[in-house]
Copies of this chain bind each other. A is one copy, B any other.
Amino acid sequence: MIDGAILIGAELRQAETRFTSVDPATGETLKPNVSSAGPADVADACALAAAAAPAYAATDPETRAAFLERIADAIAAIGDPLIARAMQETGLPRARLEGERGRTVGQLRLFAQVVRQGDWLDATIDPALPDRQPLPRPDLRRLNLPVGPVAVFGASNFPLAFSVAGGDTASALAAGCPVVVKGHPAHPGTGELVARAVRDAVAAAGLPAGVFSYLPGETNALGEALVADPRIKAVGFTGSRGGGLALMRIAAGREEPIPVYAEMSSINPVILFPAALAARGEALAPAFVQSLTMGAGQFCTNPGLVLGVASPELDRFVEAAGKALSESQPATMLSPGIHASFEKGVDALAGHNAVTQVARGQVGEGVNQAVGALFVTDASAFLADRALGHEVFGSSSIVIRCRDLAEIGTVIASLEGQLTATIQIDDADADAVRGLLPILAERVGRILANGWPTGVEVSHAMVHGGPFPATSDGRTTSVGTAAIYRFLRPVCFQNIPEGLLPEAISDANPWSIARRVDGKREASTR
């Protein structure tokens, strides 16, 4: 069922102001047209979320985990209509969207496990020391509580896994925070299908309706009003640098500033170390091109920068990559706007007097097609023009010829914060890697060896984050179980009687969670 509704808790609303989305593969306008949520919808959704917050925060882990699993089940139950609609709205192929649906329901179920396990509470007890001199120590108990209602901005490039019920929503709900989603205007039908599934899960779980609301819309004003609402206590966002910076400014300028977790921009350097390049430079090229062109290059972790020491081996890599790219097929981009930005970025590189175009991919039929692009330049040119380090969202990459390893280090040190860095290494590169790893670790959230940055595992050890401007807050990750900590804050209870203590830090420990007592971690009693 898609009728372009706004979902304010359980309530379905239709607005007079409407917008439409297009099938990027054809340029055709899709039906139905969709309600544009307005200021009153924002206020109502936030009021309902604030009203629901205490009851939702008080849910026990089993209730909250079962709710997350219900959402997963409800999304799975939509079946093929969800995939079909997402294909229409995004131009992404079926296999990719089925995989993404698996990731979406999988991360909801993983967060259910995390909620039950209880480490996220960080339950910490310092027992009273009544006889301590010169002063007794009181009984001190700390746990994490949810921050309150969270605004989530759906991303265009992951219409399921980072949209209405994606990673930000899953981690915020897991933390005990109501969520108000600002839907991405490029896939409103997909968004509505998922939003209705979440709404059904809220009702089935017997939770207050304000735990989840969904605001479709295409104006910046909608998102700005949501972040400015005083009842919103944190923001999750994946999108453009300009969009993220705008939300950061609004959040910082509020009477009560709030944290913004914006995942914005990254060019994901790949460093070809000399021994690896000599041993398998040509073999690396097609794998690199596959990572570059996957999903029309529309990944936050797309490898947009390649660094190597100028050498015949690097020349052969560039040649082989150019050959592979020139044979690559075009792919439909997510939206006309993203396609236009990609073309503009590629044209700027192609027209740059210090940059040489190595190859373009195959040109195809139809609109909004990403034609891959590979460029090469020297480190001195790259260092002289910061614009060459800006993200071109899509399948475009630039190879930087460096004089030596030291100049590779100079280029890395000149980079802004990144989500990832990839190192292609052989045993003989170990000393060179040791020299560069500390510089890399300062600038990125994930360092990976002998693979490619696209493909982000949803697990405990994952970091999908990084120093600004990769994200607005390099202390966090937006993918993986650690994402839950973004929406929690610690509260200490001092000398509170057992009967009034939160369960997680009571003597009874009814949830049998692991706790830290007097600085030492005790095992879970389960």
Contact = CB atoms under 8 A, between A and B. Distances in A.
Contacts of A492: 445-447, 461-463, 477
Interface string A456-487: 01011111010111001111110001100000
A148 B126 CA distance: 30
Contacts of A309: none
Given A138-B448, A460-B516, A434 B475 contact: no
Contacts of A433: 500
Contact of A482 (B142, B442, B499): B142
Given A438-B57, A488-B475, A494-B446, A518 B460 contact: yes
A451 B135 CA distance: 13
B147 A474 contact: yes
Interface stretch (A82-90, A251-259, A335-343): A251-259
Contacts of A1: none
A184 to B, nearest CB: 25
Interface of A: 54, 57-58, 99, 113-114, 117, 119, 124-126, 134-135, 137-138, 140-142, 145, 147-148, 248-249, 252, 256-257, 259, 416-417, 425, 430, 433-434, 437-439, 441-442, 444-451, 455, 457, 459-463, 465, 467-469, 472-477, 481-482, 488-497, 499-500, 514, 516, 518-519, 521, 523
A417 B258 CA distance: 12
A286 to B, nearest CB: 19
A463 B143 CA distance: 10
Given A459-B137, A490-B463, A449 B113 contact: no
A143 to B, nearest CB: 9
Contact of A500 (B58, B119, B437, B463): B437
Given A54-B438, A126-B459, A142-B462, 16 more contacts: A117-B519, A124-B482, A126-B462, A138-B457, A256-B417, A425-B497, A437-B500, A445-B491, A446-B492, A447-B492, A447-B494, A460-B516, A462-B492, A467-B489, A474-B489, A475-B488
A442 B113 CA distance: 26
Contacts of A119: 516, 521
A290 to B, nearest CB: 14
B430 A493 contact: no
B461 A140 contact: yes
A434 B490 CA distance: 19
Contacts of A490: 445, 463, 465, 475-477, 482
28 contacts: A57-B438, A58-B438, A113-B519, A126-B460, A126-B462, A135-B455, A137-B457, A140-B461, A140-B462, A142-B460, A142-B462, A142-B463, A142-B482, A147-B474, A256-B417, A256-B468, A257-B468, A257-B472, A430-B499, A446-B491, A448-B495, A449-B496, A451-B494, A451-B495, A465-B490, A476-B490, A477-B490, A523-B523
